Structures are given as structure tokens and as C-alpha cells.
Amino acid sequence: MTLQTAADFPPMVADSDGAVRVGGTRITLDVLAAHFEAGATPEEVVEQLDALSLADVYLVRGYCLRRPDDVQEYLRARSERAERIRAQIESESGSAEFVGEILARAGEE
């Protein structure tokens, strides 16, 4: 028997917004990276995110370990984009003033 040796690529696809989704699910690389950063094993990740297969989680984990700079850059860009969107929503909806008013009232009690 000859062992097949072929590269298995991590099952990741970027959607139209640039979010990288894993294993044909709606679960993003951001979520997996947060689990890995918290020290979760691939088995623990699959227990919590049962839409993913263990093999897919291991492939993504390997990718993150081999390309940490790329993954960190992706996560940084996603975080910055989320912050811009959050700020835009707050400025358009007036929620910043509302939050400030609630906090001021809480301080009065």
C-alpha cells in the first residue's frame, strides 16, 4: 500500500464582506482564532461549535500556526472594520448620547 501524500488545504472561504468562513459554515476564522487564543483544543472547539468537523478545525489550526502574521493582520483589519461600523452606527442613531444618559443616571443612584 502506498500512502497518498497530498496537501490538504484549510477549508476557508472569504465571503463578500471579507469575513473568512470555515468548513462551509457561517462560523468565521475570527471565532476559531478566539477559541485558540483562549487555549481551546480542536476537540473542545468542535464540542462548542458542532457545525465544524474535527478535521477542518485541525486544518485551520495548522494554518493559524503556520501563518500567524497573516492571521493576526486579518484579525486586526476585521477588528478595525468592526470598530468603524460600531462608531458609525452610534453616531447615526444617537445611541452614544443614550448610553451616556443611562450611565449618568446609574451614577446618581
Query: The domain that contains 39 carries what CATH number?
Result: 1.10.10.10
Residue 20 forms part of a structural domain: yes
Amino acid code (one letter) for 107: G
21: left (phi over 0), alpha (psi -120 to 50) or beta: beta
Asked if the structure places residue 4 within a domain, the reply is: no
- The answer to the question of residue 34 being in a domain is yes
Axis crossing angle, helix 54-66 with helix 68-93, rounded to the nearest 10:
100
Q: What is the pLDDT along the chain (109 residues), one digit of tens a residue?
A: 888 888 888 999 999 999 999 999 999 999 999 999 999 999 999 999 999 999 999 999 999 999 999 999 999 999 999 999 888 877 776 666 777 777 788 876 5
- Residue 1 domain-assigned (yes or no): no
User: Do the domain assignments include residue 81?
Assistant: yes
- The verdict on residue 2 lying in a domain is no
3 in a domain, yes or no?
A: no
pTM score > 0.95 for this model?
no
The answer as to whether 6 is a domain residue is no
Please report, in angstroms and rounded to a whole number, the separation of the first and last CA atoms in the chain. 76
Number of domains the chain is built from? 1
Domain containing 103 equals: 12-108
